[in-house]
Amino acid sequence: MQDNVALHAALVRSGPVVPVYILDDAGEGAWSAGGATRWWLHHSLAALDASLRARGSRLVFARGNSAEILAGLVAATGARAVYWNRRYEPGVIARDKEIKAGLIAAGVEAKSFNSALLFEPHTIANKQGNPFQVFTPYWRHCLTQAVAEPVAIKAGNFAAPSAWPESLALEEFGLLPTIKWDAGFYEAWSPGEAGAQKQLKHFVARAMETYADDRNTPGAPGTSRLSPHLHFGEIGPRQVWAAVRALAKDSGVFPPSRGAQVYLTEIGWREFAHHLLFHFPSTPTQPLREDFKRFPWADDTDGEKLRAWRRGRTGYPIVDAGMRELWHTGWMHNRVRMIVASFLVKHLRLPWQRGAEWFWDTLVDADLAQNTLGWQWSAGCGADAAPYFRIFAPVTQGERFDADGAYVRRWVPEIAKLPDKFLHAPWTAPANIREFAKIEGNYPDPIVDHAKAREEALAAFKTLRGHVGER
C-alpha cells in the first residue's frame, strides 16, 4: 500500500474509504490477463485484502463493466469521490477516460494519479516535441528530470463506511488454474507487498553491487526478480529509486556503484517500454516499422516447430532450459528471454507475435509494454531494435553465459551427465558419451541447423534491405 498515490489522496481527503477491485476483462481490451498473471493476481489481491483488514478495512470485489459497477457503488455508498492510479495500456486508457467522464457528469469527483512510473509518457518528448524512439537519448533526457519521493501511508486504521457494499468472494473470480500446472509458482514467488519489500531489501543488500556482472548469468541469483511486483503495483519504481538513493547517502555519489547504475538503467528500459506503447498503441500486434509487415516468415502449417519451442524440445539446451523454466516458474531470466526470442524469430523464422502471445499467457510478469518492446527488439522491427544481422547463436550463448552448465543441468536434466564440453551441443558428443549420458530417445537433436537457419534469416532480412535493420 506504500507509494499508492490514489490511496494516499483518499486518506488525506478524510472520510470513509472503500477500497474496490473490479475484474473487468472486457475493459482490458484484447489483452486481458493471461493464465500466469491471473495466478499472481489472485494471490496479490488476497494479500492486499489481508493488509486492509489489518487496518480495519477490506477490499470489495466486483466483476463486470467498470463504469456500471462504479456507478452502482457510488449510489450505494453515497461516495462523492473516486480515485485510482493510472495505467497506460491503450484499452485501459480508453476505458478510464469513459469512466472519468461518466463520474464527472454525475457530479462525482474523479481523479487519477501516477504510481506506476517515474516519468509518465505524456511528459517526455524530444526537442521536436515528438516521442523518443531510441533508448539512449530518451533515458539521458529522463535523467535531467526530478524523481518524486514515494508517498508514505501512515500507520493506523482507515476510516471505514458505516455499512460495506456487497462484495464477491475472491474465489468467485476463478483466477486460479483448473489444471494444476502452477506448483512451481508457489516455490518461486511470494506475491504481495510484503514479498516485494523482502525481495527489494534482499537485492539491494546482496546483489546490487554485482548486478552489472551477474545479471547475464542465468544460473546465478543475480537479478532483482522485482518485475511481477512492479507490474502489479505491489512496489513502485520510486521506491526502488529511493532504495538505491539511500545507498548513496554516505558517499554522496549517485548511483553509488556500477551495479546500481546498470540496474537503474534497466528501470529506464521499463519506462521506455511504456513511453513507446503510449505513443504507438498498435505495436502489441503490428510492427512499429511498417516495412517489416513484408517479412517472409517460414511455413509452419502444422505448428510442429512452434510446439517444440514452447515445450523446450528444440534440441538447443539453453533455449529448452529457458522455455522449461518459464513453464515451471512463470518467469525466465532476461538473457535467456533474448536467446529464445531470437531463436523463434530468426532460427525458426516464425512471427514474433506468436512468441509474444505465449509469453503473455505464461509469464507472471507479463506486461504489455515490456512484452511488446522485448519482442519487437528481438525481431528487429521496433524502436531501438536489434540490428537485423544480430542472430544469437544458442550454443555460443550457452557456453558464454552458462559456462558451468548450472542453468541447463537444472532445467534439462536429460543431458545433465554430459561433460561441460558437450553440454550446450549434445549432438556433437561421441556415441559412447551420448550412451553413457542416456541421451538417445530422451533428448531431441536440433530441429534446425544453426548455420543454415542463420543464412536463411539473413537472406530474408535482406529482402527488406534499406528499410529494416539499417540506419
The one catalytic residue among 28, 68, 209, 266: 266
Instruction: Please tell me the distance from the alpha carbon of residue 376 to that of residue 384, in angstroms, as a whole number.
Output: 9
Q: Which three cell numbers stand for residue 12?
A: 488525506
The one catalytic residue among 65, 85, 114, 334: 334
The one catalytic residue among 360, 375, 377, 411: 375
Exposed, middle or buried by CB within 10 Å (0-12, 13-18, 19+), for 45?
buried
Active site residue 297: yes
The one catalytic residue among 28, 65, 181, 269: 269
Active site residue 360: no
Active site residue 40: no
> Cell match 528444440: residue?
314
CA atoms within 13 A of residue 362's CA, in its CB half-sphere: 21
CA atoms within 13 A of residue 117's CA, in its CB half-sphere: 24
Report in angstroms the alpha-carbon separations of 131 from 94, 140, 284: 20, 14, 17
The one catalytic residue among 297, 427, 435, 470: 297
Active site residue 269: yes
H-helix or E-strand spanning residue 467: none
CA–centroid distance for 334 within its chain: 10
Q: Which three cell numbers stand for residue 248?
A: 548513496
Count of C-beta atoms within a 10 Å radius of residue 28: 17
The one catalytic residue among 31, 40, 352, 411: 352
Instruction: Please tell me the distance from the alpha carbon of residue 394 to that of residue 336, in angstroms, as a whole number.
Output: 10
Strands 109-113 and 81-85: parallel
Instruction: Please tell me the distance from the alpha carbon of residue 366 to that of residue 356, in angstroms, as a whole number.
Output: 9
- For 21, list phi and psi in degrees, rounded to 5: -125, 125
The answer to whether residues 307 and 395 touch, using CB atoms and an 8 Å cutoff, is no
H-helix or E-strand spanning residue 448: none
Active site residue 120: no
Strands 81-85 and 60-63: unpaired
Active site residue 331: no
Query: Which sequence positions are flagged as catalytic?
Result: 266, 269, 297, 334, 352, 375
